Amino acid sequence: MSIPSKVTIIDVGPRDGLQNEKQAVPAAVKVELVHRLQDAGLKEIEVTSFVSPKWVPQMADNAEVMAGIQRKPGVRYSVLTPNMKGYEAAVLSKPDEIVVFGAASEAFSQKNINCSIEESIERFRPVAQAAKAAGIAVRGAISCAVGCPYEGEIAPERVALVARLMKDIGVEHVGVADTIGVGTPLKVQRALDATLQYYSVDEVSGHFHDTYGMALANTLACLEMGIWHFDTSSAGLGGCPYAKGATGNVATEDVVYLLHGMGIETGIDLDKLIDAGQFISDFLQRKPHSRAANALLTKRLG
């Protein structure tokens, strides 16, 4: 498979990135982050999640954030929906896409939602059906696709099972997520291969955490397979609550720097992207978790 000439980045910073932040981030700041990301050229942004505020207080302002965004033509705004109740609330905010999720780890599934992998995906069937009937796209995320905090290494067969179940309930596109960032290139390629049994190369994305510094290597391993969709997070927002000291999602800036350096088109203005990451990092009172951003910000000062 040849390396793709263009790549689509789904920035999950406003949702996956901010949901783990301890300090409350006001809706206006989240809206401004989305505006800055779309101005930088992002065409897919995961904005918020419609989950119980009891479980994720940071996302309690979901409807306010969605209402506050000045939508740009050609940009897809997605939201996470954990169940039918979440979907019913989400649909009022007119998302372009909803995201459902399932773990490739039986132990993770049992510990987090008290049910098996099969049961967890089956719960999303009515959500996917309702979304499709309303003309809303349905994306799925396969978490713990390479490793699990409870089970250790995950067999590719588990990933294939989740991909098959997601295909069966009507999920159109899946992200293969190394949730705790333990993956290395060959393991990641095996997880992707398992998914590609049920989805085409155009319907699969890579989602990597940088806990062990492997996220860019894993991104490159996916590019070599022809994968051209990736989930990333501006300024590397988001920790992983299951791995002590774990850094979060790979930084959008680092992935864009890699892609542009390989001559791959993203449609993203790296300088504006760095400004967006700097904006949210300033609010959180810390430096961006992005090597490329910090290097280029230092260069600007020079």
Catalytic residues: 240
Cβ(176)–Cβ(206) below 8 Å: yes
- Give just the sign of the alpha carbon dihedral 193, 142, 107, 22: positive
Instruction: List helix spans (H) across 134-214.
Output: 156-169, 185-195
Which residues make beta-bridge pairs with 141?
A: 101, 175
Q: Could you say which DSSP state residue 6 is in? A: B
Q: Please classify residue 23 by burial: count the beta carbons closer than 10 Å to its beta carbon, then call 0-12 exposed, 13-18 middle and 19+ buried.
A: exposed
* Contacts with 156 (C-beta within 8 Å, 6 or more apart), sequence order: 190, 191, 193, 194
Q: Comparing C-alpha atoms, which of 151, 202, 193, 192 is closest to residue 172?
A: 202
